[in-house]
Amino acid sequence: MRQPSEPIFNVPAVVSATLAILFAIHALREWVITPEFDNELLWLFAFVPSRYESSMVGLGAYPGGVAADVWTFITYAFLHGSWMHLGLNAVWLLAFGTPVARRFGGARFLAFFAVTAAGGALAHLIVYSGERVPMIGASAAISGFMAAAMRFAFQRGGPLRFIGRADDQAYRVPALPLAAVLRDPRVIIFLAVWFALNLLFGLLGSAALDGSDQPIAWQAHIGGFLAGLLAFPLFDPVSARAR
């Protein structure tokens, strides 16, 4: 008789691979490369709003030139400020990336990661235009996965229902239209708590989380969340049908 597997111990390969890459990158930065080289990596791959000032674009004033002006919208998400920062993001990626990966598959998962990371960077750029402080961390992309999971996970038969199913069909329930999702009291409570926490941590700074004195880019979290919420239908492989 086939024993049902527990989802918490059955992480999709693309999520495991993403976590492995994140941890490997941080381990290299912490234990292998020199602080000088690490500083160069930050300027090459972190997201720096001042790159995009009209007087800077296309002049190669920052490492990587025009190409880095494009790739840093995504690559910043693979860098983290501390092991605590990375550990917290890893927990949230496991929680919300797993149901989305089960629904989307590996290729769509990675593409969605890129789009939501870029959405977070864009929101950060709008608020901090001209700022020279680099932004790093996967939180914006993870916020996008939270939004995507919200589109289907709370539904009848979905993976986050109080009485839900643990099989693959629980991750394939048709998503409701966004307007219908936003009328669900549980979703409204989830959104209220999530936005309130982001505003709170934005005021308190990252000392509330990992003891560092770096500000939390909560605007990027919101940008990634909105990108995930709106882009979900473009990536969702489950066809909508009458319920």
Straight-line distance from the first to the last Cα atom of the chain, in angstroms, rounded to the nearest whole number: 33
Question: What is the model's pTM?
Answer: 0.87
Asked if the model's pLDDT at residue 209 lies above 50, the reply is no
Residue 185 lies inside a defined structural domain of this protein: yes
State the Cα–Cα distance between residues 95 and 127, nearest whole angstrom.
Answer: 29
- When divided into structural domains, the chain yields a total of 1
% of the chain beyond a pLDDT of 70: 80
**Could you read off the pLDDT of 118-140 as tens digits, one per residue?**
999 999 999 999 898 999 999 99
Q: Is residue 242 part of a domain?
A: no
pLDDT of residue 60: 60
Domain-embedded: residue 243 = no
pLDDT at 204 over 80: no
CA torsion through residues 228, 42, 126, 52, sign: negative
206 is a domain residue: yes
Residue 30 domain-assigned (yes or no): yes
Quick check: is 2 in a domain? no
- 231, 237, 238, 240: CA torsion to nearest 10: 50
Asked whether residue 148 carries a pLDDT value surpassing 90, the answer given is yes
Q: 129, 208 in Cβ contact below 8 A?
A: no
Position 240 in a domain: no
- Residue 2 makes CB contacts below 8 A (sequence gap 6+) with none
Q: What is the pLDDT averaged over residues 166-190?
A: 82
Percent of the chain exceeding pLDDT 90 equals: 55
User: Do the domain assignments include residue 241?
Assistant: no
What is the CATH classification number for the domain harbouring 103?
Answer: 1.20.1540.10
Indicate the pLDDT class of residue 87, thresholds 50, 70 and 90.
Answer: very high
Domain that holds residue 128: 7-235
**CA distances (Å), 117 to each of 4, 47, 59, 175, 187, in order?**
34, 11, 25, 23, 22
